[in-house]
Structure 1
Amino acid sequence: MEQQHKHIRRVVIAGGGTAGWMTAAALSRTLGKALDIVLVESDEIGTVGVGEATIPTLVHFHRLLDINEQEFMAATQATFKLGISFEGWRDRGKDYIHSFGTTGTDHWTAGFQHFWMKGRERGLARDYGDYCLELRAGLEHKFAHLPNDGIHYAYHLDAGRYARFLRRFSEHFGVERIEARIASVEQAANGDIAALLLDSGKRIEGDLFIDCTGFRSLLLGQTLGIEYQDWSHWLFNDSAIAVQTESMGPALPMTRSIAHDWGWQWRIPLQNRVGNGIVYASRFIDDDTAKATLLGNIEGKPLTEPRVIRFKPGQRTQTWSHNCVAIGLSSGFLEPIESTSIHLIQRSIVRLLQNFPSQGIRRSDVDEFNAQTWSEIEFIRDFIILHYKVTERRDTPYWKQAAEMPVPAQLQHRIDMFQETGRAFRVVNELFGENSWIQVMLGQGITPEQHHPSADLMGDEELGAFLESIRTRVERTVAQLPAHQAYVERYCGAKL
């Protein structure tokens, strides 16, 4: 790609949905006075629309855009989320929770897990989760905002309503929406995208194009020919079926992830309904059996027809090429086991804003954008692979193959380090921190062989008092929290 020093004044977003309208909202809210922003989408083209569980980074994204939380939650029928309940992942009947926030209190020489392990050895410690506020609140179905961001949370939301909410927000800041199908893409002599040709005959020119066309990747993949790196040798699942059902009781502040013999099932409670789905590997199970399993494991009357979604886990080798940036599914896909889809959209948007080529596209910006994107997605990919690799299940061909597969070297190093020393670490700009890795590795059945010597320097009385003070503080805080459902109704919603 040659260096392009043409000033960027007109941005064209191809595609709507969550990716398109999040991009439009952020660009218009921050740079709208300096840009002409157009979004092209067609109501006839459906969106995947199942990324309805999020992680805490979305709270911060909304604060950056000055989005009112109560208005957003009411508009999207959202509830709060404190973590994910993994049921049957370690083995049949063995469950654990990956919660937000932190567990215990670290020492500068060693993480809390080392003191907890020493406490277990001496019979002084309770379950690891008893020292985490978000986990205990989630188990007891409680929630409230706390001073100084004292509780870490995310949302369950209606993806379709979220896109419509962001559309209104974006149009307020000057985004022009064009209802049309993209018939073809016109390229300039240097390979840049020159314009979108619509089925109406209209020609939409732009300086910078954002590809939010989903799995089709119409601009980056089909037009510019950027290669897709397939990760299905680590992540076997290639299909999902989604269905919405009536709510049958109070909405819980947890996403449920329920393991099956050849995949897993999600339950996402909103104010007005429940999102359900099943993720599976088609080489281990057929669509009809997967659908029957899903419908046999839901609560409440189905509100929609189950629909099959095909996908290929992986990532395009570049997400910015020429004058085109792919955001969302057009750049790659990782299954929703850790609710990272919207986060990856958000990170691409923030990265684009931080490297926005207002004075023209420079190779250095493009290379840095692509390098950061690749590094970030690899760490998330490894964290997802961890859930399949580290399991005690060998009861079906699916789980046996997952447990025995070779994994990326950097992931194997992290597993070995925790197994041998109890240590976990977070790389700069990596999404998941030490507590996430620890919760999943402990939950999936890894027992570290040793703990840090700092924990040996505390006597039984001192160590017991240290652990009990943390557990008691968590217990007292949780006891004062209201029920999650009651808090949502009072804060932003309607009664069931």
Structure 2
Amino acid sequence: MISTARLVLNSEKKQSTQNGRKLQKVQKVVIAGGGTAGWMAAASLSKLLGKSLDVTLVESDEIGTVGVGEATIPPIRTLHKLLNIDEQAFMRATNSTFKLGIEFNNWGQKGDSYIHSFGVTGKECWAGEFHHFWLRGKELGIDIPFGDYCYELQASKQGKFAFSANAPMNFAYHLDATLYAKFLRDFCTDSVTRIEGKIQQVNKHQESGFIQSLTLESGQIVEGDFFIDCTGFKGLLIEEALHTGYEDWSHWLPCDSAVAVQTQANSDPLPYTRATAHEFGWQWRIPLQSRVGNGMVFCSRYTSDDQAKATLLANLDGVTINEPRVIKFKTGRRRKGWNKNCVALGLASGFVEPLESTSIHLIMTGIVRLMRLFPFDGVRQSTIDEYNEKLTSELHSIRDFIVLHYKVTTRDDSPFWQHCQSMEVPASLAHKIRLFKETGRVFLDDGDIFRVDSWTQVMLGQGLEPEQYHRIVNEMNKDELTRFLAGMRSAIEQRVAQLPSHQQFIQRYCKAS
């Protein structure tokens, strides 16, 4: 447990007041912890706000990182563009491949398979999305898989990839998280002060409770005006020092453990992640250029660590190159992402399991939100409240989307899936499911990062089909609708046929040395 020394702030830095508390200008930011979260924050703040900030990062080489998060979603490309990161150099340095979506196996029922892709499916009109046209087509006997109307999804299925200005694709990356942190560290080495050492003590202001400094095991004191907690599950600043509290989501997301292992690559990498459901959880497969990341997310109430490890090892398609390691977690979130003069990022802020690759995305959005609200003239409660309100909305939408995968299933072949079928879900998700089932409509909440395409791909993919469609599609007669649907499929087939294989594109564009 971290002890707290009560030190007095330098009065020369104090500015105006709020509720009797003197505001202190923020000029020095201290990031506690490295890894993906720490170095993403360091790179972003130093490169984009750096002229007015002194950014220091404290980390210890003796402390390992969880480092299993190797899949991303498309918005990471926006941050890279802001930072002027060279995509080819980044991909070579991080052993990256391209990701067009996630293949889900055995989720709706055993034997099922569908892909949640990053692309747009079909074409929509002002009154209704494309799935209404598709449902009308099924009613008329045009029984073509929903995914046949998505360019990225069809490229995924055929293992193809390429992009150009004239033929864009919506994609993300599979990457080595450890190498990514190193890449970002090298990227901002000229604009960030790195201090090696373990944090022994967090020192707080006697009156306000704000964090003033960190004391390292060496005795060195690192002072700051604002602190970012990237210390992992422990949350040394946000929790052990500031006692923020934790909101437990395990009644909706029962998995509480994971076992991870790497294997040699024995085939060309596919441009998608694979998530395969098992009797007590699910298995991931993430292909990098020279190896494959694998893991099993499971619920310890329904299986043991040894059984989960044995199941994972029995379902690998390559030779292991490291020892499997078990990671324990509790799904949920800190009650505040920003508390006093501290923002938590990454695992320090909470953990929503990696089913839809949102961990790195949440780090990124937390950083961008902080930069937009950055308290240059002092930390104000209105700013804290705005950050936390937007974070809550975002987290709730992600939570609902992930819970959807467990709830919308007909699997009853194990106690785990029986629990998932029968469990109560958040009211916001229950409404979305019911609305789609009864009317075919999907309406997004303010914090939704997943589009209507994503919700429909998962719900349809797992067997939830609407009882009706929007009657606006009846404005097309059968012949018109047939031509409309056939034209889209034909255009996609022609575009995909012209693509090189994913491996061929990597060899040409970003082959790791």
Normalising by structure 2, report the TM-score.
0.95
Question: In the alignment, which residue of structure 2 is the partner of 1:184?
Answer: 201
Asked whether the 8 Å contact 1:244–1:274 carries over to 2, the reply is: yes
Q: CA deviation at 1:153?
A: 0.2
Q: CA deviation at 1:4?
A: 5.0
Aligned counterparts, 1:85-124, within 5 A: 85-124=103-142
User: Hey, what's the Cα distance between the residues in 1 that align with 2:301 and 2:164?
Assistant: 47
SS, match of residue 235 in structure 1 = coil
Q: CA deviation at 1:441?
A: 0.4
Q: CA deviation at 1:392?
A: 0.9
| Deviation readout 1:245-291 (Å, 9 max, x if unpaired) | 10001000010001000000000000010000000000100000101
Aligned counterparts, 1:234-273, within 5 A: 234-273=252-291
Asked whether the 8 Å contact 2:93–2:512 carries over to 1, the reply is: no
In structure 2, the CA distance between the partners of 1:479 and 1:347, relative to structure 1 (3 Å rule), is same
Question: In the alignment, which residue of structure 2 is the partner of 1:63?
Answer: 81
Q: CA deviation at 1:146?
A: 3.0
- The answer to whether 1:296 aligns with 2:310 is no
Q: Which amino acid aligns with 1:167?
A: R
Equivalent position to 2:149, from 103, 114, 131:
131
Aligned counterparts, 1:282-361, within 5 A: 282-361=300-379
User: Hey, what's the Cα distance between the residues in 1 that align with 2:230 and 2:166?
Assistant: 36
User: Hey, what's the Cα distance between the residues in 2 that align with 1:261 and 1:296?
Assistant: 14
| Deviation readout 1:307-358 (Å, 9 max, x if unpaired) | 0000000011111111111011111100000000000000000000000000
Q: Which amino acid aligns with 1:428?
A: D
- The answer to whether 1:145 aligns with 2:163 is yes
Q: Which amino acid aligns with 1:179?
A: E
Question: In the alignment, which residue of structure 2 is the partner of 1:448?
Answer: 466
In structure 2, the CA distance between the partners of 1:445 and 1:360, relative to structure 1 (3 Å rule), is same
Aligned counterparts, 1:37-76, within 5 A: 37-76=55-94
Q: CA deviation at 1:300?
A: 1.5
Q: CA deviation at 1:427?
A: 2.1
User: Hey, what's the Cα distance between the residues in 2 that align with 1:477 and 1:32?
Assistant: 43
- The answer to whether 1:374 aligns with 2:392 is yes
In structure 2, the CA distance between the partners of 1:34 and 1:238, relative to structure 1 (3 Å rule), is same
User: Hey, what's the Cα distance between the residues in 2 that align with 1:399 and 1:124?
Assistant: 33
**424-433 or 288-297, larger mean C-alpha shift:** 424-433
Question: In the alignment, which residue of structure 2 is the partner of 1:434?
Answer: 452
Asked whether the 8 Å contact 1:7–1:359 carries over to 2, the reply is: yes
Q: Which amino acid aligns with 1:485?
A: Q
Question: In the alignment, which residue of structure 2 is the partner of 1:14?
Answer: 32
**Structure 1: gaps of 5 or more residues:** none
User: Hey, what's the Cα distance between the residues in 2 that align with 1:187 and 1:296?
Assistant: 50
- The answer to whether 1:487 aligns with 2:494 is no
Question: In the alignment, which residue of structure 1 is the partner of 2:380?
Answer: 362
Q: CA deviation at 1:218?
A: 0.3
Q: CA deviation at 1:428?
A: 2.9
User: Hey, what's the Cα distance between the residues in 2 that align with 1:13 and 1:303?
Assistant: 33
Q: Which amino acid aligns with 2:38?
A: G
Q: CA deviation at 1:148?
A: 5.5
Question: In the alignment, which residue of structure 2 is the partner of 1:28?
Answer: 46
In structure 2, the CA distance between the partners of 1:494 and 1:45, relative to structure 1 (3 Å rule), is closer
User: Hey, what's the Cα distance between the residues in 2 that align with 1:78 and 1:149?
Assistant: 21
User: Hey, what's the Cα distance between the residues in 2 that align with 1:62 and 1:281?
Assistant: 35
Q: Which amino acid aligns with 1:387?
A: H
SS, match of residue 360 in structure 1 = coil
SS, match of residue 243 in structure 2 = coil
Q: Which amino acid aligns with 1:350?
A: V
Aligned counterparts, 1:367-406, within 5 A: 367-406=385-424
SS, match of residue 188 in structure 2 = helix
User: Hey, what's the Cα distance between the residues in 2 that align with 1:344 and 1:4?
Assistant: 32
User: Hey, what's the Cα distance between the residues in 1 that align with 2:167 and 2:205?
Assistant: 49
| Deviation readout 1:383-413 (Å, 9 max, x if unpaired) | 0000000001011000010011011111000
Q: Which amino acid aligns with 1:13?
A: I
Q: Which amino acid aligns with 1:385?
A: V
Q: CA deviation at 1:125?
A: 4.4
Equivalent position to 2:433, from 401, 404, 415:
415
Equivalent position to 1:205, from 203, 219, 223:
223
Asked whether the 8 Å contact 2:393–2:447 carries over to 1, the reply is: no
Asked whether the 8 Å contact 2:397–2:447 carries over to 1, the reply is: no
Question: In the alignment, which residue of structure 1 is the partner of 2:185?
Answer: 167
Asked whether the 8 Å contact 1:83–1:99 carries over to 2, the reply is: yes
Q: Which amino acid aligns with 1:424?
A: V
Q: CA deviation at 1:149?
A: 6.7
Asked whether the 8 Å contact 2:56–2:193 carries over to 1, the reply is: yes
Asked whether the 8 Å contact 1:125–1:467 carries over to 2, the reply is: no
Q: CA deviation at 1:5?
A: 2.0
User: Hey, what's the Cα distance between the residues in 2 that align with 1:136 and 1:146?
Assistant: 17
Q: CA deviation at 1:457?
A: 2.0
User: Hey, what's the Cα distance between the residues in 2 that align with 1:140 and 1:324?
Assistant: 46
Equivalent position to 1:229, from 237, 247, 250:
247
User: Aligned residue pairs: how many?
Assistant: 494
**Structure 2: gaps of 5 or more residues:** 1-17
Q: Which amino acid aligns with 2:480?
A: E
User: Hey, what's the Cα distance between the residues in 1 that align with 2:512 and 2:353?
Assistant: 31
Please provide the CA RMSD for this pair: 1.1
Q: CA deviation at 1:141?
A: 0.2
Asked whether the 8 Å contact 1:81–1:254 carries over to 2, the reply is: yes
